[in-house]
Amino acid sequence: MAERAERAERADRERGERGRGRVERRSRGPAGSGSMDGLLATKEIAIACGPGGVGKTTTAAAAAVMAAVRHGSKVLVLTIDPAMRLADALPPAPIGNTEHRVPDEAFRAAGIKPRGQLWAAMLDTKESWDALIRRHAPDRQTREEILANPLYQNISGRFVQSHDYIAMERLYEIHSDGDYDLIVVDTPPTRNALDFLDAPQRMADFFSSRLLRWLIVPYRSRLVNVATKPFYTIADRILGTEFLGDISEFFILFQSMYDGFVERSESVGRLLSDRRTTFMVVSTLEAVPLREAEFFAEQLNARKLHLGAIVLNKVLPSYLRGSEGTEVAEALKDRSEELAAALAPTLLAVDPSLGDTDQIVRVLNEVADSYLNFQVVALREMEEQATLSVMPDVLATVPFFDTDLYDLGGLYRLGEQIWD
Amino acid sequence: MSDLLDLKLVFVTGKGGTGKTTVASALALFAASRGKRVLICEVDAKGDVAGFYEAPPTGFHEKEILPGLFAMTMDTEASLREYLKLQLRIPVVGRIGPLAKAFDFVATAAPGVREILTVGKLCYEVRERSYDLVVVDAPASGHIVGQLAAPQAINNLVKVGLIRSQTDWMLDILSDPRTTGLVAVCTPEEMPVNETIDLAGRIKAETTVQLSAVVVNRVLPELFGRQEEEVFDALSSELPTERLDALVGADAAPVLDAARLAVTMRRTRSTHLVRLRQGIDESVPMLYLPYLFTRSHGLRTTRQVAASLGEELGY
C-alpha cells in the first residue's frame, strides 16, 4: 500500500517536473475518491473485466485514449474481440496480432490533440498460439508436427478456454518487450469471469500433471502397470484407440516444450499479481450484472490482486431521481385538461399547425408517464449502487449516452466521464 | 408463430446482458403454464435460474420447482458419471477418484469433451425422458457455436469407438428442425445486434441446428405519434416551457428532458431494429418483448416476460 502511494506521488512529481503543470489529484484517498487519471498514471497494465454486455471493450478503449491524450504516454489498447465499429474507432482497422499506431490525423479529425501515442492491437488466438509454439519448440520438425496436428489445430482455433490463457500470455509477451508505458486490455467473454485469472495456473497444472505422463506411457513403451490399466481400458472404450493415439502424439510432442510452457505460464500468473497491474471492473447498475461484478471484485481482493476501479456504465441521468420532477409529473397527469387549455394559445403561437387540445392532453400524460417510468429504473439503479459491498480506489459512473460512441471522439467523451 | 412450443429442445443464447436467462426462464414458465412438462437446464452455470423462479438452488438432478416445471444445472463431470453408468455399466463408485482426475485432464486436453457431455445429456433427456420441452439456458453467443458444433467436430475427429456411435444419434436430434431450435436473445443496441447477425451466420455455417426465433428484448415504447411529437417539440421551446413552469409552480425541465431522452433512445434503437431485421433471414420470426419499467426481479419479472412472450407467440 505504502509503496503504491509512494509510486503515485513519484509519478505525480515526475509529471509536474516535465512541465505538464496541472494540479494532480492523489490516487490514494478514501475509498472511491481516487481518479482514473491517478490510477492509470501509476500502473503499467490495466485489465478491464466484468460481466458481458456492459461495455468492457469500450471502457478499455476510452481509458486508453485518455491516457494517451492526457498523460503523454505511449499506450497500447489490446482488444480481444472488438466489434467492427470499435475497430473503426481506432483506425486503421487492426489485422491479426499486429500492433498499429492510431495516426495523429485521426485524433485531429476528432478535434483532439494527443500528447502521447495510442497504439491498438487485436488478439488473434490462433496466431498467438502458433507464435507460442514457435518460441518453445525444440526443433523445426517438432514445431511443424505440432502445427499440423489436428488436435492442436482444434485447441488453438476453437477450444474455448484457450482464449483465456492466450490473452494473458500475449499481454505478458507485450509487457516483456517493454515498448509501452501502459497497456490496457479487455478480457475475453468467459463463461465465468474468473476463468482467465485461473488460466495460467491451470495451464501450468495441466502440463505438470501426472496424468499427462500416464496418457503418454503406453505409446512409449508397452508396459502398462496394474494401477493405470483401468484408466486405459475406460479411455479406450470411450474415445477409441485411434483418437487416444492422436491425443498421445500431441502430448508427446508437447512434452518437449514442457519446461518452457510451465515456466512461462507461471510468469504470466505472476504478472497478474504484480504491483504494476491493476483491474478495472466494469458493470452497469442492473441487478444481475452488478452482482456478478461485485462477486468478481471480491474475488480480486481475495486473491490479493489490485482492484483499481469500478466503472459503472449507462447510468440514467440524476434529474430522474428528483422529487420535484415527481410532483411536476403528477401535476401533468392530474391537471392535464386544465393545463392543456392554458397552454394551447402559447403552443399555437409557436406552431400554428398544431391540432386540438386533446392532443396536448395526451402529450402531457405521455410525458408524465414516461418520467415516472424511468424514475422507477433510476431509483432502482441508485439503490443498487448504494449496496455495493466492495470499494475500489476509483469509483466512476458514466451517464447513459443517447448516441453511439464508436468513434475516436466518442471514446474521448466517454473517457472524460471516467477520468476525474 | 407457435412453432417454438412444438419443439422438444430449445437452446436460448444471446450476448451477455441481453436477458438470455430471463427469456429462457420465461419461455419454460410459459410452456409449463400451457400444460407442458418442461425441463429448464442451466448450462451457463451462474446459479441464476433458480432466482428467476424464487426457488432454492438447483443441482444436476432435476427438481420440480413449479407445477410441471423441472429445473437442473449442468455438471459435466456428473454427466460423465451418469453416462458411464448407463452406457458402460462401469461401477463407478470405487474408481471415481482417478476417474475425476482423468476426466478433468481429458476434458482440458481434448476439444469438445465438455461440450459433448453437455449436449449429450440434453439430447438424452429429450430422447429418454417424458418431457414435452427441454429449455436450455445456453452459453452466451460467443460460446454456443462451439457447443452446438461439438458433436460434428467429435464425429470428424473420432472415427471409431463408443463416442462415435453416440454422436450419430445426437446429430439426428440436433439436426431435426422440428425437434431442436435455437433462440437468440438480442436488445435493440449496436453491439448486441451486430453479434446476433454474426451468430445467425455462424450457426448456419458451422452447425446443423436451426435458428428458430430471435427475441428482441427491452423494446422501448413509442412515446408519441407524429402529430403528438410536434406538440411536444412546441412544448419544449422557450415560451411554452416557461408557461408550463408557471402553471405547475415548479421547474418542468427534468420531466421534459426525460421525455426527450426516451424519444432519442427509442429512435436510436429503431435503427438497430431495422438493421437486425435486414440482417436475419426473413423466415426467422422476431418476437418483441417490452422494456419493463419495474423495480422487481425474480418470479414477478419472469411472469411478466412470460406473458409478453405468450402474446408474441400468438396465444
Domain assignment of residue A266, given as a range: 28-206+256-318+401-419
To probe the interface with A, which of B255, B268, B297, B300 has the most A CB atoms within 10 Å? B255
User: In this complex, do B239 and A374 lie within 8 Å of one another by their Cβ atoms?
Assistant: no
Chain B residue at shortest CA distance from A383: B295
For helices B113-128 and B141-157, give the axis angle rounded to 10 degrees: 90
Quote the cell numbers at residue A387: 449496496
Q: Is the pLDDT of residue B106 over 70?
A: no
Mean model confidence pLDDT for chain A: 81
| pLDDT, greater one: B264 or A152 | B264
Indicate whether A179 and A301 sit together in one domain.
yes
CB contact under 8 A, B231 and A155: no
Between A52, A289, A374, which is nearest B258 by CB? Answer: A374
Which range has highest mean pLDDT (A114-128, A162-176, A303-317, B44-58)? A303-317
Q: A202 at the B interface (CB within 8 A)?
A: yes
Percent of chain A exceeding pLDDT 90 equals 42
Q: How confident is the model at residue A236 (pLDDT cuts 50, 70, 90)?
A: low
Query: Best of B231, B248, B251, B302 to disrupt the A interface by mutation (most A CBs within 10 Å)?
Result: B231
Residues A309 and A351 in one domain: no
Regarding whether A284 and A312 lie in a shared domain, the answer is yes
What is residue A27's predicted lDDT score, i.e. its pLDDT?
42
- For B158, phi then psi, to 5°, come to -100, 115
For chain B, state the CA radius of gyration: 23
- Which positions in chain B touch A324 (Cβ < 8 Å)? 250-251, 254
Does A60 lie in the same domain as A41?
yes
Q: Using the beta-carbon criterion (under 8 Å), do B142 and A81 form an inter-chain contact?
A: yes
**C-beta atoms of A363 and B235 within 8 A:** yes
In this model, does residue A73 exceed pLDDT 70? yes
According to DSSP, the residues that pair with A283 across neighbouring strands are A312
Structure confidence by residue, pLDDT tens digits, B170-214: 999 999 999 999 999 999 988 889 889 999 999 999 899 999 999
Q: So what's the pLDDT on residue A262?
A: 79
DSSP string covering B256-278, please? HHHHHHHHHHHHHHHHHHHHHHH
Nearest CA in chain A to B48: A288
pLDDT of residue B82: 81
| Band (B45; pLDDT cuts 50, 70, 90) | low
Q: Which cell numbers hold the place of B167?
A: 454422436
Q: Which of A203, A228, A234, A296 to mutate to test the interface with B (most CBs of B within 10 A)?
A: A234
The Cα–Cα gap between A123 and A121 comes to 7
A109 touches chain B (CB under 8 A): no
pLDDT at A82: 53
Residues of B in contact with A331 (CB under 8 A): 248, 250
For chain B, which residues make up each domain, given as ranges? 3-223+274-312
**Chain segment A245-287, per-residue pLDDT in tens:** 777 777 777 777 777 777 888 888 899 999 999 999 999 998 8
Do residue A158 and residue B294 have CB atoms under 8 angstroms apart? Answer: no
Cβ-Cβ contacts under 8 Å for A332 (sequence gap 6 or more) = A339, A364, A365, A367, A368, B248, B252, B255
**Domain membership flag for residue A3:** no
Whole-number pLDDT of residue B146: 81
Q: For chain A, what is the domain count?
A: 2
| pLDDT of residue A21 exceeding 60 | no
In the predicted model, is pLDDT for residue A151 greater than 80?
no
Q: How far apart are CA B155 and CA A242, in angstroms?
A: 13
Q: From CA B258, how far away is CA B254, in angstroms rounded?
A: 6
**Percentage of residues of chain B with pLDDT beyond 90:** 58
Q: Is the ipTM, as predicted for this complex, more than 0.90?
A: no
Mean pLDDT of B59-70: 94
CB A367 to CB B232 under 8 A? Answer: yes
CATH no. for residue A313?
3.40.50.300
For range A167-194, the mean pLDDT: 84
A66: number of Cβ within 10 Å: 24
Is the CB of residue A289 less than 8 Å away from at least one CB of chain B? yes
Query: Which residues does chain B have within 8 Å of residue A243's beta carbon, measured at their own beta carbons?
Result: 110, 157-159, 161, 163
Q: Write down the pLDDT at residue B93.
A: 47
Is residue A114 assigned to a domain? yes
The pLDDT of B105-127, averaged and rounded, is: 78
**Is there a single domain that holds both residue A187 and residue A331?**
no
Q: Are residues A378 and A284 both part of a single domain?
A: no
Rg (CA), chain A: 27
Question: B308 pLDDT band (50/70/90 cuts)?
Answer: very high
Residue A56 DSSP SS3:
helix
Residue with cell 427469456: B23
Q: Which residues of A touch B108 (CB under 8 A)?
A: 161, 202, 206
Each residue of A23-64: pLDDT tens digit? Answer: 333 344 566 778 999 999 999 999 999 887 788 888 999 999
CATH classification (class only), B3-223+274-312? alpha beta
Same domain, A354 and A301: no
Q: Indicate yes or no: CB of B255 within 8 angstroms of CB of A332.
A: yes
Which has the minimum average pLDDT: A120-129, A278-287, B57-66, B187-196?
A: A120-129
Q: How many CB pairs under 8 A join A and B?
A: 240
Residue A353 carries which DSSP code? Answer: T
Asked if the structure places residue A6 within a domain, the reply is: no
Q: Could you tell me if residue A80 is inside a domain?
A: yes
At residue A323, the 3 state secondary structure works out as: helix
> In chain B, what residues touch A202 (CB-CB under 8 Å)?
108
Q: Encode pLDDT of A338-375 as tens digits.
A: 999 999 999 999 999 887 899 999 999 999 999 999 99
pTM: 0.81
Q: Same structural domain for residues A408 and A377?
A: no
Chain A positions in Cβ-Cβ contact with residue B160 (cut-off 8 Å):
240-242
Specify if A158 maps to a domain. yes
What are the φ and ψ backbone dihedral angles of A233, each rounded to 5 degrees?
Answer: -60, -45
pLDDT at A231: 61
Average pLDDT on B238-257 reads 94
The residue among A22 and B252 whose pLDDT is bigger is: B252
